[in-house]
Amino acid sequence: MSASIKIKNALISVFYKDGLEPIVQALHKHGVKIYSTGGTQQFIEALGIEVFAVENLTGYPSILGGRVKTLHPKIFGGILARREEASDLKEIEEFEIPLFDLVMVDLYPFEETLAKTNDEQTIIEKIDIGGVSLIRAAAKNFKHTLIVADKSDYSNLLEIINNQDGSSNLENRKLFAAKAFQTTSHYDSAIFNYFNLEAGLDSYRLSINEGQTLRYGENPHQKGFFYGDLNSLLEKLHGKELSYNNILDVDAGISLIEDFEEPTVAIIKHNNPCGVASRNSLLEAWKDALAGDPVSAFGGIIVLNRTVEIETAKEIDKIFCEVLIAPDYSSEALQILQSKKNRIILKKIGSLPKNRTVRASLNGVLVQDKDLVVLKPSDLKAVCSKTVSDAEIEDLIFADKIVKHTKSNTIVLAKNKQLLGIGCGQTSRVDALRHAIAKAKSFEFELKGCVMSSDAFFPFPDCVEIAHLEGIDTVIQPGGSIKDDASIDYCEKNGMAMYFTGVRHFKH
């Protein structure tokens, strides 16, 4: 706490006026001379406080429909002057420039405008020029000037003025400078990303202002952070804070459940589904999802796409789960589920972004479009003469949805819209199938009549041979292998049905 500077001159020009009045009153109380423009000037005048127009200082009015107001040496000189430099102070005196100790400037709402309209001219007019320049100038000269660039810091500024007798110290100014550059860099990233939608430059910008420190990362010896606005997607109703691993599982669960329209329950463990079922009621969906693998369900993440009522809550409460996610809960159900102190109960209030996925890799990041494909019956191409019932077609689509959200290599076995067995994250597709079969048998499921789904094509007929020997005669896969005919021929000769989708679902 050093280098205290009394605030004598302040430049205030803000878009958001909420919370501004007490700051202006406090500055006036400390005898600060306030300079302003346009709407902010009118706001201050309406408070009965003396304010000096920027245009009287510069000798130029606001021109070009307000596009040029503050871009003038008499403004920027007063912000950027180095007060330890005699030559700077000499020029300040020569040109009668006031030294600004405080600059309060925010930016036109570019992102907010972008979210509301596609009209290019409206969007372009919300690209701030003077504001960004003022913020950067004041932040650069933090040794002498305090910059407030966001309305979220109004209360912090008021506290500084009141607690420090109208002065700022170096610690204040350096912290606010960092926040200012955070504001401008985020703003410029949003503008670049807008223009790059059309330009298609090989450059990527990701800027997120919200963030939180997690208890730890994937393991206790690793630090962990989350950057994003969880509150726009999830409302926490009960329990401890989400961990790094919880967030990964929650993402996997929500991604999966958003592909289902009928009442569905999914149980997630280590980013993979271990139980999924769709039924006419949520209670039955829960019972059959749990039956798919009651062992792996212990300590898992449960995701539901309907309001949780009391009977379903009673059944869920019988097992230990880390996190529960649903669009809503009845008051009686919530009371039951809150009986476990650490159980995290989340209400899903938004949807996941539908654009791209980003992950760190090597010394950079990998960016790709999300896999948003959800098959319809008309998307399936029969490649064998045997046909199947509408119910089996529904099972094929059900299984394909699960395959899409499971680590490769993966095989899914399903029947009557229930996951029976899954083999995931295997280095061999044959191993994935054998693992899925073993899982299903360990919980005494009858495999005859179930369907098999694969995330990628079969390079050899070995998987369909193994499936057939287990009584599995209906298969869905992307197709596309140079040896597709080998699998097709085996299925045709053995009375199996096979459908190609043309869509691979690798997930690494």
CA distances 90 to 84, 132, 349, 479, Å, are: 11, 27, 59, 78
CA distances 363 to 18, 357, 359, Å, are: 43, 17, 11
State the Rg of the chain over Cα: 31
Reported in sequence order, the residue ranges of 29-181 that DSSP labels E, i.e. its strands, are 33-36, 52-53, 102-105, 146-148, 167-168
Give catalytic status of residue 270 as yes or no. yes
Q: Evaluate the omega torsion of the peptide bond into residue 193 and state whether it is cis, within 30 degrees of 0.
A: no
Q: Tell me the Ramachandran region of residue 306: left when phi exceeds 0, alpha when psi lies from -120 to 50, beta otherwise.
A: beta
Strands 9-13 and 33-36: parallel
Give catalytic status of residue 140 as yes or no. yes
Q: Which residues contact 365 (CB under 8 A, 6 or more apart)?
A: 204, 206, 358, 359
Catalytic residue among 8, 126, 140, 151: 140
Give the span between the Cα atoms of 316 and 134, in whole angstroms.
Answer: 56
Catalytic residue among 8, 28, 270, 287: 270
How many Cα atoms occupy the beta-carbon half-sphere of 310 within 13 Å? 3
* CA 421, 291, 320, 442 torsion-angle sign: negative
Residues designated catalytic: 140, 270
